[in-house]
Amino acid sequence: MLLLAACDETVGGNTPVGGDEASDAALERFVRRAYIDLSGLPPGAAELSAEVASLRAGGNTPTARRALISKLMSAAAWANVWIEELDNRVLGGETLSYRYEFLCSIIRSQTTACQSCQAADPCDCACPELATLKTERDALATGASDLRGGMSTSAVERRYALATGYFALSGEPENRARALFVDFLGRPAEADEIENARAMFFGGLGGPAGLMFHRHGANYADLIDIIFDDEVYREAVVAGVFDRYLARQPSSAELAHFVGRLSAANPDARPVIEAVLSSKEYFDP
């Protein structure tokens, strides 16, 4: 019987025994790994001792491990780490502030209406082109606090995908299409997908411009809706979590299990992260 390594149930619906006795060294390793993955920092000595004691008291079951993971993910540090990793992935290693400073500097030097602005922050100018970018940057900069406030991970990613600061430096439409697929779907775009995405970038004349995942779209906003509303995106969310924390791809059974548990309208990676990090596989890699 195939066991879903990253959740508490087998394919047949049975619940495995999860109370095997672990050494203090194994418990400490798990706590340190979880802290570093979710907060970016190792636990202090007092935190480490308290968390090990709590796991020991709870029998080191998936439920006991999940309690720690849930606590770490509810802290401010997790949202900051998640946003930093998103920035690194979709902005090619740049920070959000650097990307917009660079983009605004180019526009200010090339746009006559903006050239008289001498603000230290090149985005902080009254000309419409830069004012729009500043508003966009400031909205993206609230990503961590929005996550802490309950915004889904997909809503944050969708906001990035729609941002001028994300796609402005991609160059040709074909490159923009390739970047969208790699950054948000975790795979290269196929030739017909690139062509249909390109058509939507240019827009249709009052009607559909391209076809993607069996849905028509007339413009870039339609393309983003199609991508983020499709099961392909939810599969990418699950695969991304497995790759990030287990360094492997999910099996077909694991993929189907977790995709089925994600909201189709507003998928959020947090429940998948909690399940993966509380699993026996993560505890004892």
pLDDT value at residue 20? 57
pLDDT band at 21 (very low <50, low <70, confident <90, very high): confident
Q: How many CB atoms lie within 10 A of CB 3?
A: 18
| pLDDT tens-place string over residues 102-154 | 999 999 999 999 999 999 999 999 899 999 999 999 999 999 999 999 999 99
| Alpha carbons 73 and 124: distance in angstroms, whole number | 34
Helix (H) or strand (E) holding 52: helix 45-57
pLDDT band at 241 (very low <50, low <70, confident <90, very high): very high
Asked whether the predicted pLDDT for residue 189 surpasses 70, the reply is yes
CB-based contacts of 11, cutoff 8 Å, min separation 6:
1, 2, 3, 4, 253
Q: How far is CA 203 from the centre of its chain?
A: 28
Please state, rounded to an integer, the average pLDDT across all residues of the chain: 91
**Which pair of tokens denotes residue 53?**
């004691």
User: Mind spelling out the 3-state secondary structure of 246-266?
Assistant: HCCCCCHHHHHHHHHHCCCCC
pLDDT value at residue 169? 86
3-state secondary structure of 135: helix
| Alpha carbons 260 and 263: distance in angstroms, whole number | 8
Query: Looking at this protein, which amino acid is placed at residue 247?
Result: A
Closest CA to 20 of 74, 50, 58: 58
3-state secondary structure of 3: strand
**Which pair of tokens denotes residue 88?**
């690194």
pLDDT value at residue 53? 97
pLDDT value at residue 138? 96
| pLDDT tens-place string over residues 242-284 | 999 999 999 999 999 999 999 999 999 999 999 999 999 999 9
pTM, full prediction: 0.89
